[in-house]
Structure 1
């Protein structure tokens, strides 16, 4: 008993020396937080379209079918799902570190001691069994269980398990963010494809009218009412529109392939109806409250879990400064001859040992690890604030765009109607020699440009409806 006390008293200065620098390791970190505005500009509706399932938000059955195929086959999403599996395995590994490690050990060997040694001389005069001296070549056979266990006195292993769990949850949210972006990307490219289809239709209708105008001007030239310059100008305009048609055809092909890539398949035609572009677009988007971004946006929640993981990682780094307490044990049968291995109680062998190991020499390495974990936590906090700010700015930008695009759409519609009439008027005036061919060319070009701009505005409205849905945190449910 006195010996145990003496050992304990001698151990105390050792532990004090090992842990003397740990009191200054502060794990309670914070940064100034930016308060989230109570509402979005000009928005007071507490409901948010982010809570609407994307199948209801995108009413087009063709688009819904494309998104379904993308979620099933997209390669980036498959990679993200595998990251979830890796994170889940990390959680299981961290849970296993808290439990004792037990294994079955089967081993054997042979050893010969020199005669003129303490072991050799002792063996030469010692009976290993009644009437039998220890053999010169001594075999050793062991069958049994061996166990080791690190007792988590300071919570290092428990914090590492919490790190793995938080990172797993962050990975889940990261996958939700991939799904949200995937849904939005398919919808965006699909809207662009519909806009290109309608652009191509307008260009081809314009080409037909320009061809008719060219034919008329050629007849007038033969009748002496027009000159070669007029013919060349009309022909140049026709060639420009034909070039524009080829460019649009190339854009259609590339956009189809972008969708096919998102769907994880090789290029093939995308079935669609171009008239869908003009279907009803929401005039008012329910944006909800900025605070709802914290619950709806997967990237915000991912950043939040990263903060949790960094906090536990910092606690684990602090615990590394304290001594490790390990217990090792073994229980089995050991003999020099297999026939005595299980038949004799004397073959039973066991051991039990506890060790306490405190860091001394590598303190600088532990401090560097602690400082790294500290910087990681502060970085995670700043990234969280940045993610919230970015989400708020995205929503405000899209709300403003939706409002302004509605006004632009109205103006472009009126402009398109006026310029369409101007084309007909210029033709009639040209027939009666009250307008020049240049005025006809300008009217045609202006009408084409106005129609193309109108299609582009409609496309931008549909893209804004998709982007606001994603910005509010929709698309992953």
Structure 2
């Protein structure tokens, strides 16, 4: 704070002030041309359909409580949303982004400081100040005290006038990044829901693999006893006994490995729920016939609205456009106003006597860079390069989202058909094992036929269970790829009293980066916590894609 206020020289003429101000205005003309910016390559247009398939509704409109009808699973999902540490970390990221808005908002408002000072000053008699003070009197017959005290109580104001919207654009960029951080948390929510659901169905698959393996061991132990009986009756050999014994031991070893996998998957779920290892409840009966909610694809344009990662990339792109404007404004002059007013006296008895003890000043500065603007040019071009990165990142995010939907939907369809065929294969293998076992018991078939039949049946069961697991995982991932799991349901996010403005993208012709119109928010979020707004997922007119925005300079 500048407390060294002095009464201005009243002899300064208004003509000199006008001349000084006119000289400052000469700085408004930049001394060199602002460099041209690079432009982004147009991305591929978003298709109108998913390989010819569309629907009126999208599964993203369905809340995860409805999509996953299993009460045990929905309970785990609720616990994971409440206890997951990654979401709590992201909540603090949202707080940090909110505080950045507060800081940016303060930059374009006046800075007002108030304070006081007290001191002593003793000048040498053999200096100009000492010699002058020796000849001066405070009052008739009363010299200045020695040493000379000084008391000051004053307030000063400094204010950079945001004539080029440099500071407000920085604030709006911070608001966009705040919204992007919230979208980023929503995307993590969708991934968390998908991961917990996928692990839950994998746990059910492991239970069924363990059940199938136990059944295979029982059958092979019966065959082992049969081989021993045939050997004792001189109708078999020790080789058959040894081969069946080895097969039983192999599957018993495999059972332990599956049990270890169950422990690890359970603990992955526990970790995502933010709790220590414990048994995860589930109902694995009827696993092979389990059917999830039917998928509805909607239209690809809805991805721009439903996918939180796309919305986050869009916010980052908009913020990067504002960063270019902030960097551009540094080429232009900045207008700063500084003023102060207060009371100053060498004795506290005279401190508040007006106008004798009153001091004030006011200064306006209009300053523009003239020489050595390389740092400003570098920052401007760097902001443009980062803007281009955000353009390509947005294009990449949209392309990835569309590809994920196509891959997962095709996987659901193909794996579903594969399961039906594998069920037929399994039935044939079960019949072959039954036939081979009966023939072996009557010494009409070799042990190797029984062994191979049992092995083929076990492999077919395991493949069928794994295929079912992959199909359920594909349904879960398709639901997430469409944007489901983040738009519906309730999620608490820490907030502050700052309400970021609503932002709407506006096209701008010419060589400027994309403009952003800032619309003031009507209602701020309540203090403490708030419910994240649920974007409407109803089919509407397709939103203009930023895949083909030209960014030019």
Fold shared per TM-score above 0.5: yes
Deviations 1:315-366 (A, max 9, x none): 0000011111111111222222223223554222222111122223441001
Partner of 1:228: 238
1:3 maps to 2:13: no
| More displaced 10-residue stretch of structure 1: 211-220 or 77-86 | 211-220
Q: Secondary structure at the match of 1:274?
A: coil
Indicate the structure with greater helix content: 1
Partner of 1:164: 174
Partner of 2:496: none
1:466-477, aligned counterparts within 5 Å?
A: 466-477=476-487
Partner of 2:31: 20
Q: Distance in 1 between matches of 2:258 and 2:110?
A: 67
1:75 maps to 2:88: no
Partner of 1:319: 329
Q: Distance in 2 between matches of 1:155 and 1:348?
A: 36
Q: Distance in 2 between matches of 1:404 and 1:419?
A: 22
Partner of 1:448: 458
When normalised by structure 2's length, the TM-score is: 0.83
Q: Is the 8 A contact 2:436 2:453 kept in 1?
A: yes
1:258-269, aligned counterparts within 5 Å?
A: 258-269=268-279
1:414 maps to 2:427: no
1:292 maps to 2:302: yes
From the superposition, tell whether residues 129 and 266 of structure 1 become closer, same or farther in structure 2 (CA, over 3 Å): farther
Q: Secondary structure at the match of 2:285?
A: helix
Q: Is the 8 A contact 1:160 1:312 kept in 2?
A: yes
Partner of 2:499: none
1:68-147, aligned counterparts within 5 Å?
A: 68-129=78-139, 131-147=141-157
From the superposition, tell whether residues 25 and 112 of structure 1 become closer, same or farther in structure 2 (CA, over 3 Å): farther
Q: Distance in 1 between matches of 2:15 and 2:158?
A: 29
Shift of residue 86, structure 1, vs aligned partner: 0.4
Q: Distance in 2 between matches of 1:10 and 1:92?
A: 36
From the superposition, tell whether residues 204 and 185 of structure 1 become closer, same or farther in structure 2 (CA, over 3 Å): same
**In structure 1, which of residues 342, 352, 357 is the aligned counterpart of residue 352 of structure 2?**
342
Q: Secondary structure at the match of 1:346?
A: coil
Partner of 2:253: 243
**In structure 1, which of residues 43, 62, 67 is the aligned counterpart of residue 72 of structure 2?**
62
Q: Is the 8 A contact 1:277 1:459 kept in 2?
A: no
1:367 maps to 2:380: no
Q: Is the 8 A contact 1:47 1:286 kept in 2?
A: yes
Partner of 1:39: 49
Q: Distance in 1 between matches of 2:32 and 2:269?
A: 58
From the superposition, tell whether residues 429 and 37 of structure 1 become closer, same or farther in structure 2 (CA, over 3 Å): same
Q: Distance in 2 between matches of 1:225 and 1:206?
A: 25
Partner of 1:354: 364
Q: Distance in 2 between matches of 1:424 and 1:337?
A: 114
1:257 maps to 2:267: yes
| More displaced 10-residue stretch of structure 1: 335-344 or 94-103 | 335-344
Q: Secondary structure at the match of 1:327?
A: strand
Q: Distance in 2 between matches of 1:440 and 1:81?
A: 60
Q: Is the 8 A contact 1:194 1:276 kept in 2?
A: no
From the superposition, tell whether residues 325 and 191 of structure 1 become closer, same or farther in structure 2 (CA, over 3 Å): same
Shift of residue 283, structure 1, vs aligned partner: 8.1
Q: Distance in 1 between matches of 2:57 and 2:429?
A: 42
Q: Secondary structure at the match of 2:356?
A: helix
Q: Distance in 2 between matches of 1:365 and 1:176?
A: 38
From the superposition, tell whether residues 160 and 362 of structure 1 become closer, same or farther in structure 2 (CA, over 3 Å): farther
| More displaced 10-residue stretch of structure 1: 459-468 or 138-147 | 138-147
Q: Across the two proteins, how many residue pairs are aligned to each other?
A: 474
Q: Distance in 1 between matches of 2:105 and 2:227?
A: 85
From the superposition, tell whether residues 267 and 174 of structure 1 become closer, same or farther in structure 2 (CA, over 3 Å): same
| More displaced 10-residue stretch of structure 1: 140-149 or 73-82 | 140-149
Q: Secondary structure at the match of 1:326?
A: strand
**In structure 2, which of residues 190, 208, 220 is the aligned counterpart of residue 210 of structure 1?**
220
Q: Is the 8 A contact 2:288 2:465 kept in 1?
A: no
Q: Distance in 1 between matches of 2:73 and 2:371?
A: 63
Shift of residue 6, structure 1, vs aligned partner: 3.5
Q: Is the 8 A contact 2:25 2:366 kept in 1?
A: no
**In structure 1, which of residues 424, 428, 432 is the aligned counterpart of residue 434 of structure 2?**
424
Shift of residue 221, structure 1, vs aligned partner: 1.3
Q: Is the 8 A contact 2:68 2:292 kept in 1?
A: no
Gaps of 5+ in 2: 1-13, 488-553
Q: Is the 8 A contact 1:303 1:387 kept in 2?
A: yes
Gaps of 5+ in 1: none
1:436 maps to 2:449: no
Instruction: Tell me the C-alpha RMSD between the 2 structures.
Output: 1.7
Q: Secondary structure at the match of 1:188?
A: helix
Deviations 1:139-190 (A, max 9, x none): 2221222211111011110110111011111111101111111111100111
| More displaced 10-residue stretch of structure 1: 224-233 or 213-222 | 213-222
Q: Is the 8 A contact 1:322 1:359 kept in 2?
A: yes
From the superposition, tell whether residues 41 and 284 of structure 1 become closer, same or farther in structure 2 (CA, over 3 Å): farther
Q: Distance in 1 between matches of 2:115 and 2:127?
A: 30
Q: Distance in 2 between matches of 1:220 and 1:453?
A: 33
Q: Is the 8 A contact 2:24 2:366 kept in 1?
A: no
